[in-house]
A = this chain, B = another copy of it.
Amino acid sequence: MAVVTFLSDYGLDDDFVGVCHGVIAQIAPQARILDVTHGIERHDVRSGALVLARALPYMPAGVHLAVVDPEVGAERRAVALRCADEERLLVGPDNGLLALAATRFGGVVEAVEIARSPLRLEPVSASFHGRDVFAPVAAHLAAGTALLAEAGEPLDPAELVQLVLPRARRSERGLVAHALHADRYGNVVLDAGHDDLAGSGLRLGRAVTVNGRRALFGTTFADVPAGELLLYEDGYRVLALAVNRGSALAQLHLRADDEILIAPVP
């Protein structure tokens, strides 16, 4: 059974997501739709890209529709992409949203521009390309439109918009990381993973400082008392900060890309 996964910043308070489901169900009645989430912060392309890339490996291979589109109606491209691995197809705006997922699946081997796709719904509105362009193209691909070429005009994958992320680095005082994304609990995902720990002096079970504030490098929230700060590897093997029964985002006054010095306590 063909699968269409769907991620967006539409939220569930309005009918945007439901209408896209309806469009897909009309075009591809046999396709199963799996919602990744529609709770991406409005217009937060980077969080969308991060969540998409970490979630898709757990979703069945298929057509992966994603819409976080602050420039809808302006000049950004709309694209459908085929990845090297597992024939995964990505459909969405060309604003970096799909970039991390594409990398995760071996890179893009075929790309088409779909803004004027013959598969879109006419007339195309100025503001709801999820319904009029992205969902119909995703549905037709799920229904078996054999080639991306039928969905739009070929595009050189090298021209796709990339996503520039900060990179954690080791310094002589410890690990210099950055806040990439926070979930609804205020847990903060950093741009550092297991590999960045080597040589950093940080050791599991030991005390650390995070921007000068005392924390434990532990494994679960229960390792620290309520209100205390925890450094841990999250469910996606990425370093993250949490406060047991609280919000690390709030306690550390963090914003996206803020530099965070994590240092071992001697």
Contact = CB atoms under 8 A, between A and B. Distances in A.
A43 B7 CA distance: 26
Interface in A1-40: 1, 3, 5, 7, 11-15, 17-19, 21-23, 25-26, 29, 32, 34-39
A184 B126 contact: no
A234 B127 contact: yes
A220 B22 contact: no
A54 B126 contact: no
Given A127-B235, A232-B126, A22 B183 contact: no
A76 to B, nearest CB: 10
A38 B12 contact: yes
Contacts of A72: 220-221
Interface stretch (A55-63, A163-171, A258-266): A55-63
Given A220-B127, A221-B73, A34 B21 contact: yes
A40 to B, nearest CB: 9
Given A13-B184, A14-B184, A19 B39 contact: no
B12 A42 contact: no
Given A12-B12, A18-B37, A220-B72, A60 B232 contact: no
Contacts of A87: none
Contacts of A162: none
Range of interface residues on chain A?
A: 35 or more
A147 interface: no
A17 B37 contact: yes
A235 B128 contact: yes
B15 A127 contact: no
Contacts of A58: 19, 22-23, 26, 131
Contacts of A35: 18, 21
A236 B34 CA distance: 25
A73 B219 contact: yes
24 contacts: A1-B29, A3-B25, A11-B39, A12-B12, A12-B39, A13-B184, A14-B51, A15-B51, A17-B37, A18-B35, A18-B55, A18-B59, A22-B36, A25-B32, A25-B59, A58-B131, A71-B222, A73-B219, A73-B221, A73-B223, A74-B222, A126-B219, A126-B233, A127-B221
